[in-house]
């Protein structure tokens, strides 16, 4: 069975030195950056509330859209590198997480 | 005897706590905590509810999005929030591979407990709606021992 990265809707993003790297255009990169910053902000707030520390990864689900980001284990407050994915479907957390981890090797 | 066989919200949530490696659960309506089975103090749980509501409001602020669920991972713990209308169920769990299963169970729980949630919100609705739509729930008679009570 192929990994879900063969889906034409799946868009993978990488953040290197604070810049979003995308193969699908500026609009997608802007959308990814906005969702990444927003979701990471609220995930870190949840972590601070429960004294769990900073987030490692997080996902957001809509009826026809899923977003996920994955940070390296040693990431600091200022993210230098990260990866993420957006897909126009409501896919499972496990599937997207496995895909991102495969992307990161 | 419907009241005798209908499990309470808390009992239903306690059963849900056995769905995988679940560490804590919280059922909320808007920003109000209805039932908390969290291993945290009440003020932290209230802050947690506010955080998840703030996140949903942030992403839906432009009017074009509808957030179903948020899932966040921390060291050894995951926080999952599943929204359904004005209600939300927040779960803390350990294993990441169980998140989709727990999210599905949470959606079923939120669908199946709408009447229980409405009953739990009944007294508050009676006060706010001044007996218009929320007055369908049975109410105890107000009897003042110092006055002559007239039953109309």
Distances (CA, A) of B53 to A36, A46, B89, B107: 18, 11, 11, 17
State the best of B59, B72, B84, B88 to mutate against chain A, taking most chain A CBs within 10 Å: B72
- A9: helix, strand or coil: coil
- Confidence at residue B114, expressed as pLDDT on a 0 to 100 scale: 83
> CB–CB of B29/B49 below 8 Å?
no
How far is Cα A63 from Cα A12, in angstroms, rounded to an integer?
20
- Confidence at residue B129, expressed as pLDDT on a 0 to 100 scale: 45
Has this prediction a pTM greater than 0.90? no
- Confidence at residue B115, expressed as pLDDT on a 0 to 100 scale: 80
The two tokens of residue A30 are 């802007």
H-run or E-run covering B30: none
pLDDT digits 0-9 by tens, A7-66? 558 999 999 888 888 888 889 999 999 999 999 999 999 999 999 999 999 999 999 999
> CB–CB of B68/B85 below 8 Å?
no
- Confidence at residue B30, expressed as pLDDT on a 0 to 100 scale: 92
- Confidence at residue A104, expressed as pLDDT on a 0 to 100 scale: 79
Is A105 exposed, middle or buried (CB count within 10 Å of its CB: 0-12, 13-18, 19+)? exposed
How far is Cα A55 from Cα B100, in angstroms, rounded to an integer?
19
- Confidence at residue B91, expressed as pLDDT on a 0 to 100 scale: 96
- Confidence at residue B6, expressed as pLDDT on a 0 to 100 scale: 47
pLDDT digits 0-9 by tens, B89-114? 999 999 999 999 999 999 999 998 88
User: Does B38 score more than 50 pLDDT?
Assistant: yes
CA distance B42 to chain A (A): 11
User: Does B9 score more than 70 pLDDT?
Assistant: yes
Contact B65 A62 (CB under 8 A): yes
Between residues 33 and 72 of chain B, which touch chain A (CB distance below 8 Å)?
40, 44, 47-48, 51-52, 54-55, 58-59, 65-72
Length of chain A in terms of residues written: 105
Which phi-psi region, left, alpha or beta, contains residue B131 (left: φ > 0; alpha: ψ -120 to 50)? Answer: left
* Complex prediction ipTM: 0.89
């Amino acid at each position: 069975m192929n990994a879900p990265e063969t889906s034409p809707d799946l868009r993978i993003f990488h953040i290197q030195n604070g810049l979003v790297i995308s193969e699908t255009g500026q609009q997608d990169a802007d959308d990814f950056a906005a969702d990444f910053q927003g979701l990471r902000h609220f995930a870190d707030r949840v972590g601070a509330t429960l004294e769990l520390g900073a987030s490692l990864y997080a996902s957001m689900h809509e009826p026809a859209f899923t977003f996920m980001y994955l940070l390296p284990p040693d990431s600091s407050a200022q993210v230098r590198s990260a990866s993420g994915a957006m897909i126009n479907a409501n896919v499972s957390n496990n599937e997207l997480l496995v895909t991102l981890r495969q992307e990161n090797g | 005897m419907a009241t005798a066989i209908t499990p309470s919200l808390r009992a239903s949530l306690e059963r849900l706590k056995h769905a995988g490696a679940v560490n804590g659960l919280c059922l909320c309506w808007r920003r109000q905590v209805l039932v908390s089975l969290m291993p945290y103090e009440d003020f932290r749980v209230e802050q947690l509810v506010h955080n998840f509501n703030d996140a949903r409001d942030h992403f839906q602020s432009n009017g074009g999005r509808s957030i179903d669920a948020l899932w966040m991972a921390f060291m050894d713990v995951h926080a999952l929030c599943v929204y359904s209308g004005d209600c939300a169920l927040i779960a803390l769990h350990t294993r990441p591979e169980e998140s989709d299963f727990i999210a599905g169970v949470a959606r079923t729980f939120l669908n199946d407990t709408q009447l229980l949630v409405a009953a739990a919100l009944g007294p508050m609705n009676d006060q706010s709606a001044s007996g218009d739509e929320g007055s369908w729930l049975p109410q105890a008679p107000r009897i003042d021992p110092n006055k002559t009570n007239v039953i109309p």
